Amino acid sequence: MKLLPSLKPKKRYVLFQIAGDKAFTADEVKKAVDEALKSFLGDLGLAKASPSFIKERYKNNHFIIKVNHDWVDELKSAVILIKKIKNNPVLLKSIVTSGALQKAADGVDSKARL
């Protein structure tokens, strides 16, 4: 028997932009994000938020994280506190929050054109 749609956890996709001098690989960014989330949320918060870095959508220093809809603000707070990746100073901003992955991914293309 399948789980009813009303019982499934709701998710949000948050698009972030990295402003820095260097282009980073998806693995470097994922490691920095994981460390920031672990230190800010702790083990219990991390389990409740269930964040997921979407590696396939990393492009032009933009990345998307999938998270439980109740934990979007905490996710943004944790990620924005990242100040260095691989000892290079960076500034992270959240661009778009969406319930659909495609809308968040479209935000990368529209922001890149500006």
Residue listed under structure tokens 């920031």 = 36
Q: Rounded CA gap, 22 and 24, in Å?
A: 6
Whether 5 is covered by a domain: the verdict is no
Residue listed under structure tokens 């396939």 = 56
Residue listed under structure tokens 């934990």 = 71
- Write the pLDDT tens digit of every residue in 41-85: 999 999 999 999 999 999 999 999 999 999 999 999 999 999 999
Residue 3, classed as helix, strand or coil, is coil
- Write the pLDDT tens digit of every residue in 8-23: 889 999 999 999 899 9
- Write the pLDDT tens digit of every residue in 77-95: 999 999 999 999 999 999 9
Whether 2 is covered by a domain: the verdict is no
Whether 80 is covered by a domain: the verdict is yes
pTM of the model as a whole: 0.88
Give the domain range for residue 94: 16-113
Q: Which residues pair with 103 in a beta bridge?
A: none
pLDDT of 36 higher than 70: yes
Provide the CATH number for the domain around residue 33: 3.30.70.3250
Whether 6 is covered by a domain: the verdict is no
Q: Which two tokens stand for residue 6?
A: 């009303």
Q: Rounded CA gap, 14 and 53, in Å?
A: 10
How many domains would you assign to the chain? 1
